[in-house]
């Protein structure tokens, strides 16, 4: 069975948005799911996050792993993949509202600890899927579009879903559509 890591975004917790709902659905399907509280999430730090994630010996990142990240959690997927040891390769990554720089926000200035090496990142992941909303108030479409191009992956654009969070759309305590993309990664 697939093991799944879910990474939340800046200034929130695992209890925010659709994260606990998704964990419940995936655990109900028999998956091992880790939904950690990322350290100092109000000011994400790529090195701190990656060290924290790799230090957990109870959750194995391997060929049966899918990683799902929202916003800065999606960016952390790229940091983590870039720093995976040796030939470790995960099954897939689902990046929701991803970006590749600090978006001009002081709180994101330490998120990307080294420039992304997209060829190295690709070697550590079987398939990428990017989800984006055409009216995201925080992330311009050029950001995930650039990432999808660099990683030879799909960019799925939703209409009118904001930042896929409860701040911009109150119904994002759930995210049923995400389940089909997880299934697609499982079957790839």
Residue 183 belongs to some domain of the structure: no
Domain of residue 158, CATH code: 3.40.50.1820
pTM: 0.97
pLDDT digits (tens, 9 = 90+) for 4-58: 999 999 999 999 999 999 999 999 999 999 999 999 999 999 999 999 999 999 9
pLDDT digits (tens, 9 = 90+) for 69-122: 999 999 999 999 999 999 999 999 999 999 999 999 999 999 997 899 999 999
Residue 22 belongs to some domain of the structure: no
Residue 8 belongs to some domain of the structure: yes
Alpha helix positions (H), the chain: 19-28, 46-55, 72-82, 118-123, 142-150, 178-186
Residue 21 belongs to some domain of the structure: no
Q: In what order do the strands lie in the sheet with 3-7?
A: 32-34, 3-7, 65-70, 90-96, 125-133, 154-158
CA distances from 85 to 23, 61, 121 (A): 26, 10, 11
Domain count, the chain: 1
Residue 129 belongs to some domain of the structure: yes
Nearest to 68 by CA among 187, 168, 188, 186: 186
Contact yes or no for 131/97 (Cβ under 8 A): yes
Structural domain boundaries enclosing 122: 3-12+39-175
């Amino acid at each position: 069975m697939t093991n799944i890591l879910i990474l939340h975004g800046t200034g929130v917790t695992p209890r925010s948005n659709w994260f606990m709902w998704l964990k419940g659905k995936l655990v109900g399907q028999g998956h091992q799911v880790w939904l950690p509280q990322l350290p100092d999430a109000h000011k994400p730090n790529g090195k701190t996050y990656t060290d924290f994630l790799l230090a957990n010996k109870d959750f194995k990142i391997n060929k049966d792993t899918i990683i799902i990240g929202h916003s800065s959690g999606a960016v952390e997927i790229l940091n983590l993949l870039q720093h995976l040891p040796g030939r470790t390769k995960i099954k897939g990554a689902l990046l929701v509202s991803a970006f590749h720089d600090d978006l001009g926000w002081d709180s994101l200035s330490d998120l990307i600890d080294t420039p992304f090496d997209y060829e190295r990142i690709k070697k550590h992941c079987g398939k990428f899927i990017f989800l984006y909303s055409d009216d995201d108030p925080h992330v311009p479409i050029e950001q995930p579009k650039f990432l999808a191009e660099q990683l030879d992956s799909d960019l799925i654009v939703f209409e009118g879903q904001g930042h896929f969070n409860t701040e911009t759309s109150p119904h994002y305590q759930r995210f049923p559509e995400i389940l089909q993309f997880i299934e697609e990664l499982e079957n790839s």
